[in-house]
Amino acid sequence: MSGAKERIALTSIAASAALTIGKFVAALLSGSLALLSEALHGLIDTAATIMTWLAVRFGDKPADDDHQFGHGKIESIAALVEVGLLIALAAGVAYEGIRRLFGAASDVEASPLAIGVLVVSIIVDFFRARALNKVAKETDSHALEADALHFSTDMWSSAFVIVGLVAVGAGFPQGDALAALVVSMTIAIAAWMLGKRTIDALMDAAPTGAADSVRQAAQSVRGVIEVEQVRTRKVGATLFADVTVAVPRMLPLDKVAQVKSQIVAAVRAEIPGAEMTVTTHPRALDDESLLERVLLIAATRRVPVHHVTVQQIEEHLAVACDIEVDGRMSLEAAHVIASRFEAALRDEFGAQTEVETHIEPLDPHGIRGRDVMEEERASLATAITAAARAHPMLGDIHDVRVRETAKGRVVHFHCLADPKHTVAEVHQVIDAFEHDIRRIDPGIVRVVSHAEPRRGDAARP
């Protein structure tokens, strides 16, 4: 797209220069102040189009270490210089027009050449303005937009000059000076409109409607509770948006990253090429359970917990759980972790919360082991099946595996249980059964059991 911007800018230079030369020749031959002001206006436009070409050429350079948001601002700077030139020209033309209007009238000849040059200028200005506007909208270029505005004002200015020359030819000698004043007003209005937009861009004014579009796109993403803040600004053709959203604090970090990516995709679907910075704030939901809140604190502090018990004791809570730490850690270091975790729970539930933690050793690197000989495994499986008869709720002991480790034997098995019983009831029976298994072989240090409902259509994992 940068090639299209450069080509249209170069074409504008050629068109502006040709029209300016024609207007100067016609102004010198006719003596028209209005036409001379148009020629001077054209001369400034030619200089402006050269600046536009340079601006779009350098403005499309990619970001670098010194200009991390790109070089798009150079287009706004070029447009601001054009504003200054237009204001100076408008003031000079207005001064000379007033001087001629209230002083001695100058000889002005409404020659066919002068009018012909102006008619050609109007036609060229019309097509150049339309072409520049088209590319300016496609590329969101301030410099090309300024160029298009110049050609548009030139078109109207030329029309006013024609009216002034016709008035002179009809016997109204002050018509040329009045036309010059109208031209100066037209130039001043164009400078004001362009200047306002350019200054807004340089001061990072939020583009109209951009924040609402970004907000709506972000709010449509699943997992976003609220869009807390949206800030937008334009650098050249690129929209930069900073978005802050609230997400459920129970959301895992990988899901939070996914929400951020979806927000960027949703915004870019509305505003292609937008550069996004998304910040997330965790927020507690009204339907969080007490257990979920305990597990969240444990997860954020990277403290593995189990056997969590939360009780309501009159006016305060009592929280108890087992925490796991590296078994090689000293008791003093482990107690510091437990104490900080307990303090975090009190911060969450209140200073009066009763908190107790039981510290258990954890091997962070896992335990290396090997399967025992098949004869040993089969013998132990038979003993486990026999021990299960003492627990009528359980049956069909299967998938028995026995591993030898440096810390002792680890036994895994599956069993079937009455599906009508609760999880708590089944767990209580299995816990007692695991103690029985340890008595079978004192070398067993860990029993891992998996209970399945006793149904003919029950699927086994």
pLDDT digits (tens, 9 = 90+) for 128-161: 778 877 777 776 666 667 667 767 777 777 777 7
CATH 3.30.70.1350 is held by the domain 210-283:
yes
Angle at 383 between CA 377 and CA 384, to 5 degrees: 85
Give 3's pLDDT tier (boundaries 50, 70, 90): low
Ramachandran class of 106: left when φ > 0, alpha when ψ lies in -120 to 50, beta otherwise: beta
CA distances to 221, 367, 374, 413 from 403, in Å: 48, 10, 11, 12
Q: Calculate mean pLDDT across residues 257-272.
A: 92
Sign of the Cα pseudo-torsion (318, 321, 325, 328, in order)? positive
Q: Calculate mean pLDDT across residues 405-430.
A: 90
% of residues, the chain, pLDDT over 90: 26
User: What are the domain boundaries of the chain?
Assistant: 2-202, 210-283, 290-362, 369-453
* Alpha-carbon gap, residue 169 to 190, rounded angstroms: 29
Q: Give the model confidence (pLDDT) of 20-35 as tens digits.
A: 787 777 777 767 665 6
Do residues 35 and 162 lie in contact, with contact meaning Cβ atoms separated by under 8 Å?
no
Q: What is the pTM of this model?
A: 0.48
Least confident of 135-144, 297-306, 381-390, 399-408: 135-144
Do residues 10 and 119 lie in contact, with contact meaning Cβ atoms separated by under 8 Å?
no
Q: Give the model confidence (pLDDT) of 59-114 as tens digits.
A: 556 566 666 555 566 666 767 777 787 787 778 777 767 876 776 555 555 567 66
Query: What does the radius of gyration of the chain's CA atoms come to, in whole angstroms?
Result: 41
Domains 210-283 and 290-362 share a fold: yes
- CATH of 290-362 given 3.40.30.10, 3.30.70.1350, 3.40.640.10, 3.10.310.10: 3.30.70.1350
Which fold is adopted by the domain 2-202? Alpha-lytic protease prodomain-like (1.20.1510)
Q: What is the CATH number of domain 369-453?
A: 3.30.70.1350
What is the 8-class DSSP label of residue 71? S
* Alpha-carbon gap, residue 163 to 32, rounded angstroms: 12
Question: Which amino acid type is present at position 202?
Answer: L
Structure tokens at 208: 């109209």
pLDDT surpasses 60 at 296: yes
* Alpha-carbon gap, residue 138 to 17, rounded angstroms: 25
DSSP H helices in 140-252:
142-169, 175-202, 210-219
Which pLDDT value is given to residue 117?
Answer: 74
CA count, 13 A, side-chain hemisphere, 74 = 18
